[in-house]
Amino acid sequence: MRFFNTTGPVVAEDHYCIPPLERLDLAEIRRLIRDKRYFVLHAPRQTGKTSALLALRDLLNRENSYRCVYVNIEGAQAMREDVERALQVILGALASRARALGDEFLDGVWFGILTKYGSGAMGEALTRWAEATPKPLVLLIDEIDSLIGDTLLAVLRQLRAGYDQRPEHFPQSIVLCGVRDVRDYRIQSTAENAVIAGGSAFNIRAESLRLGDFSQDEMQTLLAQHTEETGQVFNPDAPETIWTQTQGQPWLVNALAYEACFKNEAGRDRSLPVTADAIREAQEQLILRRETHLDQLADKLKEARVQRIIEPILSGGEERRFIDRDLEYVQDLGLVARDSPYRIANPIYAEVVPRELTWVVQGEFDRETTRYVHADGSLDVVELLTEFQTFFREHSEHWVKRFAYQEAGPQLLLQAFLQRIVNSGGRIEREYGLGRLRTDLLIVWPQDEGTRKFVIECKILHKTLDQTIAEGLEQTAAYMDRCDAEAGHLVIFDRREGRRWKDKVFRDRRASDSGIEIDIWGM
């Protein structure tokens, strides 16, 4: 039985998959190789880059016009800036991959070349290999951006130095594959005591191709393979939920489907359809287990250049001009969408980010959910916000400082407080983005008679109080209407210097222009 793949390259015999070559602009890649170009293929982690490269290698070798060799050079990362030891790992890996294709030339000569040429061995080895190979040589180099400093510089510069000798004395075409485009690298060279731009170290790059996420049709095709092979159907709302929550990110699509269909006990009963609730439960399990993909992404939040982009997005701050390199970096990571206004790439990442930033804080709240749940199972959101308002007045100055992301501190503190309580029975959905001037939270709470929904709209006081309230009432009412929520709460954080708490803390209830009654909480 095939299954949804979440680890390593796809194997069609083992995994449901979209044929990797269908996800590439194959005509463009053929043209670049034919024209003897060196180019870049980049995409966020676990998007399908390696699967695409391996499929391309197999295609080119079947067609027999080129000798195409794939190599993953991540193993050289452990050598840091020891260039000769790193090249030993890289050349050994290249020789091994070539030998698996029946080409043993490099295997017999690379170590002697390394001994003689030292840190310049890669260029010499590729020259001799190209001269000995009867067909033009094409190299697919994966994980190029795992290298650092002088090791990365040495590899890029030796590839550039041999460029004018192709194809008789150097590879006809080289594809560099990684998370980022090589032009975005800023390489700290210890030997030169300088920062070198990747674009200058490898200025022969002809094109930069990006592997995208699944389209909605591709996602449906993937899910249909499971139905065809097992007979298990997806309720119409299940694929819709997968798409909404993942926006087509390949690992997330596969992980949700695998969790719901193979790890969940009920999901393994092929007579039962896969439901939207099963997908949401799968999402929660992935987040709680801090799966490697999500954990790696969350770890990036510690980096200053990531914080400079994500923090104002979380706070719903005003539009601002970002440093281009920072923005390109978080977009290459797949953390921020490429459209405007800037936002977290998909709802699962939008859930992971605040949870990661508030993980320790959540565990320190001593409130129990039962304090806020009535005998009939309903959630008392008013009591919950009353408690938070008191807590915020007494402790916020200390607690907000504990967050690395202090600009978004009040919103994060509220989310941490709610998460601890709501997680025991319901869920929180979040919407935020740059320039929205608010953070939208939706509490979804199941009860016997059906699901209940409560909107909590967070705003930073940025105009006068009356203007902020008026604006917030309309935004809250609109969000309530869109989510079909039964109650709405507008939380206004006053972060102006010198303000006394007795002037900041209040509770009111007003109607929006459309007549919807909304509770207002000042903090």
pLDDT of residue 139: 98
pLDDT of residue 239: 98
Q: Which two tokens stand for residue 406?
A: 């202090």
Residue ranges of the chain with per-residue pLDDT less than 70: 363-364, 366-367
pLDDT of residue 363: 67
User: Are the C-beta atoms of residues 14 and 6 closer than 8 Å to each other?
Assistant: no
- Phi (first) and psi of residue 118, to 5 degrees: 60, -125
pLDDT of residue 463: 87
* Domain 19-210 classification at class level: alpha beta
For residue 363, give the H/E element and its range. helix 359-364
Please state, rounded to an integer, the average pLDDT across all residues of the chain: 93
**458: burial class by Cβ within 10 Å (0-12, 13-18, 19+)?**
buried
The residues, ordered by sequence, that sit 6+ positions from 277 with a Cβ below 8 Å of its Cβ are none
Sheet of 67-72, strand order: 67-72, 137-142, 173-178, 38-42, 205-210
Peptide bond into 167 cis (omega under 30): yes
The ranges assigned to domains in the chain are 19-210, 216-289, 294-522
pLDDT of residue 509: 97
The residues, ordered by sequence, that sit 6+ positions from 76 with a Cβ below 8 Å of its Cβ are 86, 87, 89, 90, 146, 147, 151
User: Are the C-beta atoms of residues 50 and 41 closer than 8 Å to each other?
Assistant: no
Alpha carbon distance 288, 236 (integer Å): 26
pLDDT of residue 317: 77
Alpha carbon distance 354, 405 (integer Å): 10
74-107 exposure pattern, b = at least 16 Cβ within 10 A, e = fewer:
bebbebebbbbebbbbbbbbbbebbeeeebebbe
Model pTM?
A: 0.91
Alpha carbon distance 15, 3 (integer Å): 5
Three-class DSSP category at 40: strand
pLDDT of residue 189: 87
CATH topology of domain 216-289: Helicase, Ruva Protein; domain 3 (1.10.8)
pLDDT tens figures, 82-118:
999 999 999 999 999 999 999 999 999 999 999 999 9
pLDDT of residue 450: 83
